[in-house]
Amino acid sequence: MRILISADMEGATGVTWTDDVVPGTEQWQRFRRLFTGDVNAAVAGLHDAGASDVLVNEAHSSQRNLLLEDLDPRVRMLTGRHKPLSMMQGVDSGVDGVVFVGYHAGAGAEGVLSHTYLENQITGVWLDGVPASEGRLNAALAAEYGVPVLMVTGDDKTCDDARDYAPEAIGVAVKECVSRYAAICTPPQRTATALKLAAERAVARAGRVEPRRGPHRIEVEFDASHLAQATAVVPTVEQTGVRKVGFEAPDMTEAMKAFKVVTAIAAGAVQGIYG
């Protein structure tokens, strides 16, 4: 049994604000350990329940945050940026399920450090007309490869979101959202136990299912008009409003590739404190 873990950081145990997740800060160094601990707890549960191979795909920012030297020695870790499937690299390798560790709510939604790809320039993303977090986008990509989402961890708002896009997945809330930069946090000793037990239960649903392929439409709303103008130069991307663009793709893989291009151009078009 082979399992993929897509590991983001904003939803990790204890994380509540910018410095906790920005590479190079003192707080980031601290929370790398807690982030690695969350992944290890999930890995322990997966292996105890029969997983024979676990691939951990680093999915946060530089995608070089987990401490390899502290990871469970039974895993393999995919680290570094510029992966074709980004946060979901490895979902096309024949895995039997995927676990989302450290995830967060989407842009425009309530949740600790809520965003979708860009930290603050995107105010909303819609997949086929439905507000889309990174979790929803990645779950749709997993479905295209016949891979079920087994478990989702993050704050309580993340788990609420997951109940809509992956209703059979087990949710583990490691903190309770108070605001975008505040949460009631559970200590790592307790979250580790909760994550391990949930992962053990989640394995029962592992097993490839019928792939769901088909066309998709993604719409992106920015906080400034020039970002919509900049991204609308991409072929197939049309500006649909002052701050909004949209595009269609024949499948989710192509949709996510186009979405990556749109977000990369938008990030490059940001000008200092005026955005």
- Annotation: binding site for Zn(2+): 8, 10, 60, 104, 134
**CB-based burial of residue 71 (10 Å sphere; 0-12 exposed, 13-18 middle, 19+ buried)?**
middle
Residue 115 bears catalytic tag: yes
Please tell me whether residue 259 adopts helix, strand or coil conformation. helix
Could you tell me whether strands 149-155 and 97-101 are parallel, antiparallel, or unpaired per DSSP bridges?
parallel
User: Cα dist. 57→6, 37, 54, 219 in Å?
Assistant: 5, 15, 10, 26
Give burial (CB, 10 Å; 0-12/13-18/19+) of 229: middle
**Residue in the block written with tokens 């929370």:** 31
State the catalytic residue, choosing from 47, 115, 216, 226. Answer: 115
108: CB partners within 8 A, 6+ apart: 114, 123, 124, 131, 221
* Binding-site annotation, residues: 8, 10, 60, 104, 134
Active-site positions read: 115
